[in-house]
Amino acid sequence: MAAEAAPGARRGGLADRPGLMTWVFLLPSVIYLAALVVVPLVLAVVLAFSAATAGRPAYRFTGVRQFTTVLSEGVFWRALGDTLLITGASTVLVVLGGQVLAHVLLARFRGRWLVRLLVLLPWTTPAALSATSWRWLLDSAGSPAGWLLRAVGIPPGASWHGRPVVTMGAIVAVQAWRLTPLAAVVMAAGLAAIPRDVRDAARVDGAGAVRRAFDVTIPLTLPSIAVAALLTATLASADVTVVNVLTHGGPGHASQTLATLSYARGVEGGALGQGAAIAVLLLPLPLAGAAGLLRVVRHRSADR
């Protein structure tokens, strides 16, 4: 009977085959990622090596000509510098602000549901609507910024759109405003995972708030901080909406990023090959940032 039962046990159903069921459950995610990530990426790479335009979409292989053309332009290198500046400044502000808001999200006080709603509101608001609202708030006439400009003696007709430093500052501020809630949620999850006995032990040892922050909180939440920084850098470097609505890359390409330059060349200008080449050249930036953050987290984890 044991010999007869053994073949029957081997003929189990699909649910008894963990390897197969793993792929069954993963298949929807794989299809989703392939449709939204892999296919557009492959299409962008293919277009980058072609002379395709909106008026003449037929594929014609041109080698690296689009890349050499783009790399020889000064506007590309200026956009690269602006991208790094906006991404770096936004990431620093978002990580610092997200760390503060993460403690607010976890704090227990009356009316905390309203505070949590207000904290998360910038992230839930569409980027185009947020940028449009900020453009009105920062406008030189009939807005709070206009009143402030007149209060400090700047003529009412003066506009912040003509000042490269101010336009860059406005873009960084809006990016930090809308991305900080996302970072706060990620870092709040890391804070909530810290065992209470670890914090209590630090208090018993006499560690003050500053020492607990640098010796306990930050080291234990470093993975969540790295994830928040990576998400911020990726979203800020690839954003088109905020820059286009606020400044449209002006004045004179002073606030142009690689993402908006790619959009301007490929979509608005119709040069699909050049736009795709710029987008492909943008890809190594978030990849390098992700590799660097993962390396830092790995080394810090090994040190502990």
Domain ranges of the chain: 74-264+281-303
This prediction's pTM:
0.81
Neighbour count for residue 261 (Cβ, 10 Å): 30
Closest residue by Cα to residue 278 from 55, 116, 73: 73
Concatenating the DSSP letter of every residue in 173-229 gives HHHHHHHHHHHHHHHHHHHHTS-HHHHHHHHHTT--HHHHIIIIIHHHTHHHHHHHH
pLDDT in tens, 159-192: 666 778 888 988 999 999 999 999 999 999 888 8
Per-residue b/e over 64-92, b at no fewer than 16 CB within 10 Å? eebbeebeeeeebebbbebbeebbebbbe
CATH 1.10.3720.10 fits 74-264+281-303, yes or no: yes
What's the confidence (pLDDT) of residue 262? 93
The answer to whether 221 touches 187, Cβ cutoff 8 Å, is yes
Read off φ and ψ for residue 215, nearest 5 degrees.
-100, -20
Write out the chain's pLDDT in tens, 304 residues: 444 545 544 555 555 666 677 787 888 888 888 888 888 888 889 999 998 888 887 788 888 999 999 999 999 999 999 999 999 999 999 999 999 899 888 888 888 888 888 888 888 888 888 888 888 877 756 667 667 767 776 665 556 667 788 889 889 999 999 999 999 999 998 888 888 787 777 777 776 777 777 777 778 888 889 889 988 998 999 899 999 988 888 787 788 999 999 999 988 888 999 999 999 999 888 888 778 777 776 766 666 5
Rounded CA separation 157/160 (Å): 10
pLDDT in tens, 270-293: 899 999 999 999 988 888 877 877
Residue with tokens 């890359």: 249
